[in-house]
Chain A
Amino acid sequence: MSQPIASDFLEALRDSAPVMFGYIPLGMAFGVLFQSLGYHWLFAPLAGVVIYAGSAQFMAVGLLAAGVSYTEAFVATLVLNSRHIFYGLSVLSRYPKHGLSRWYLIFGLTDETYSLITAKPPESSGTTRYFVYLTGLNQSYWVLGCALGASLQSFFAFDSAGFEFALVALFLVLLIEQVRSMSERWLLAVALCASGLAYVLVPNQFLLVAIGLCLATLMVRVRGGGVHG
């Protein structure tokens, strides 16, 4: 509303650039892996369009190879992606209440999109149009990566070893940004302990358990501690 369309788009393009450096190599890795199944390469970008979840798509390659039932694929995906349930909690108030854009934004709420959206201070929180551009750009990087990996796999060997660090760096940068404006930093130590505990106890459900522990602590804090800051 306050900004012209072009500046919303440019802002989304600038903010999403780091995700591009993570998604294209990662999407390519998926595309290359997907080609090992022997399907037409166009199905790889299609997975990016209809599923749009990195870890779930990598799992899909294994499920397809094993020939699992639809029910098994459904349940396995629910379990794998269950951490997303916690993400909605933090963006609930920022997202539009109605309309197609609301459902697209929910559909496209990946780890990285979530990180970028919550990194915006709530008071300068972007317009719905900005969120849609940001989510759409991120998904297009991902779909492009899937398409490149699957289509070019046989033509050239792109060595993407090491590019996985881009996503670590992105999360780290966003963490630094969020820490600057955080009032209760002891919660970060809680999150670090939760991660350590989850890694030692249930490494194959790391994200779900670590985020669950964080949420449990936060519930106690929010209910018991009243409203500060």
Chain B
Amino acid sequence: MDNSYLLGIFTVMGIATFITRALPFVALAKVKNHSVLDQFGRLLPPMIMVVLVCFGLVSLEVESIDRGGLSALSFVVVILLHAYFRNPLLSILVGTGVYVIGIQGFGL
């Protein structure tokens, strides 16, 4: 195994990842109009969260109707638990638990 090739690939991928994360900080460092940036800071995150939820849902491998139903059930469980108890850990653990049990326990 060529360890130096592996380390080289890790290094360039690490640098590329850092560049994508650092770009706005470097590019916008001189921007004076803070009201525009503040509005982006306030309005963009919930929109991105909608996109990430959709991304998560389409990444789940829904290869059957049962699996689709299980995803929907777990999704609703998270929403209901969070609406009532507002405890992130509880909502996430129980929702994921329902999903894992459905797949591993019932073979959905």
Distance in Å: Cβ of A224 to nearest Cβ of chain B: 12
Q: Are B13 and A166 in contact (CB under 8 A)?
A: no
Do A175 and B53 form a contact, CB below 8 Å, given A51-B10, A84-B20, A168-B60? yes
CB pairs A–B below 8 angstroms (22 shown): A21-B93, A50-B10, A50-B11, A53-B13, A73-B9, A86-B24, A90-B40, A90-B44, A92-B37, A93-B37, A93-B38, A107-B22, A119-B45, A122-B41, A162-B103, A165-B96, A165-B100, A169-B92, A172-B79, A176-B79, A178-B46, A222-B36
Interface of B is mostly: helix
CB closest chain-B residue, reference A37: B1
User: Once the chains are docked, how many angstroms separate the CA of A128 from the CA of B73?
Assistant: 38
Contact residues of B between 87 and 106, Cβ < 8 Å to A: 88-89, 91-93, 95-96, 99-104
Measured CA separation A179–B71 after assembly (Å): 22
Q: Let me know if A106 is at the binding interface, CB within 8 A.
A: yes
Write the chain B residue with the least CB distance to A219.
Answer: B40
CB of A51 to closest CB in B, whole Å: 5
Chain B contact residue count (CB 8 A cutoff): 70
Contact call B20/A85, Cβ cutoff below 8 A = yes
* Cβ contact within 8 Å between B17 and A64: no
B13 touches A56 (CB 8 A): yes
| Nearest chain B residue, comparing its CB with the CB of A88 | B24
Tell me the A residues contacting B by CB distance below 8 Å.
14-15, 17-18, 21, 37-40, 43, 46-47, 50-53, 56, 60, 63-64, 67-68, 70, 73-75, 77-78, 81-95, 102-103, 106-107, 109, 111, 114-115, 118-119, 122, 159, 161-179, 182, 184, 187-188, 190-192, 194-196, 199, 203, 206-207, 210-211, 214-215, 218, 221-222, 227
The answer for the CA separation of A190 and B28 in the assembled complex, in Å, is 25
How far is it, in angstroms, between the C-alpha of A17 and the C-alpha of B92 when the chains are bound?
A: 10
> For residues 28 through 48 of chain B, which have their beta carbon under 8 Å from a beta carbon of chain A?
28, 34-48
A184 adjacent to B43 (CB under 8 Å): yes
Cα distance A218–B48 in the bound complex, in angstroms:
11
Asked if B65 is at the interface (CB within 8 A of a chain A CB), the reply is: no
Distance between Cα atoms of A118 and B44 in the complex (Å): 10
What's the Cα separation between A189 and B99 when bound, in Å? 27
Ranked nearest first, the 6 interchain pairs of A and B with the lowest CB-CB distance are A88-B24, A168-B56, A77-B16, A162-B100, A118-B45, A191-B50
Least CB separation from B17: chain A residue: A53
Minimum CB distance partner of A222 in chain B: B39
The reply to whether B59 and A164 form a contact with Cβ atoms under 8 Å apart is yes
Within the assembled complex, what's the spacing in Å between the Cα atoms of A82 and B20? 6
Kindly identify which residue among B9, B16, B43, B53 contacts A172, using a CB–CB cutoff of 8 Å. Answer: B53
